[in-house]
Amino acid sequence: MTQVVRYLHDESHWFPKPDNALDEPNGLLAIGGDLSPARIHAAYQQGIFPWFNPDEPILWWSPDPRAVFRVSEFVPSKSLKKRGRKHPWRITLNHQFLSVMQACAAPRDQQGGTWITQSMQQSYLELHRQGIGHSVEVWDEDTLVGGLYGLLIGGVFCGESMFHRQTDASKIAFWALIEHLKRCGVDWVDAQVPNDHLSSLGAKAMPRSEFLELLAAHGGKLIDMKLWLPQRITLNV
């Protein structure tokens, strides 16, 4: 199959098929377009996501393989369970979406840049307002010390980024997300690109073709959105 990176236009939310993505760099599929909420949502529904540096055009990716978690198979480590029991963290859902995004961007700002640009923050914030974007927050009293955010595409939660300001706070946020997904009947988490950190949490590398089949099978699942209203999450420790 011929691999060609396509250039997108603002007038349409069309994307090429993910199996047209390049092998090197792994998963690069398209360039350009915009970061409108509608385009971003359309991309995730097709297994595509934006990822680029501030001085680059918008780049769209669908890597092979894909990092995924099966919610029903996630088991927190003994050390994480111990920390969850000992530390008086408070965990919430959808209380501070923008603050979580900004915190995920902040460490990269100190390194000279972030792919979580201001325009991206505004688009994902609008998706949050539409009930598509969601965040988990970890608090030490009234201080935000960890969290994560992503998009809910039917029965698949597409994780975007996480952060921590205290040891293991991002892992606690992920564990809390898993507990909430179980209650909502969502059984898959897309973590995009496999790496050692995700593997340590239990992520598996899935061929892109299988991931796209999974997304097609579960992406249209109807979820009770009342379960995603702002609330507190309790860990089963």
Reported as a single tens digit per residue, the pLDDT across 55-109 is 889 999 999 999 999 999 999 999 999 988 888 899 999 999 999 999 999 855 4
113 band by pLDDT with thresholds 50, 70 and 90? low
Torsion of Cα atoms, 13 then 16 then 21 then 25, to 10°: -40
pLDDT at 109: 43
CATH architecture of 6-64: 2-Layer Sandwich (3.30)
Tokens 């377009």 locate to: 33
Residues of the chain with CATH 3.30.70.3550: 6-64
55 residue type, one letter: D
- Residue 3, pLDDT above cutoff 90: no
Domain 67-232, what fold? Answer: Aminopeptidase (3.40.630)
pTM of the model: 0.93
- Residue 139, pLDDT above cutoff 60: yes
Residues of the chain with CATH 3.40.630.70: 67-232
H-state helical runs in the chain:
37-45, 78-86, 97-110, 118-129, 169-184, 196-201, 208-218
204 residue type, one letter: K
Provide the b/e sequence for 139-151 (b: ≥16 CB within 10 Å).
beeeebbbbbbbb
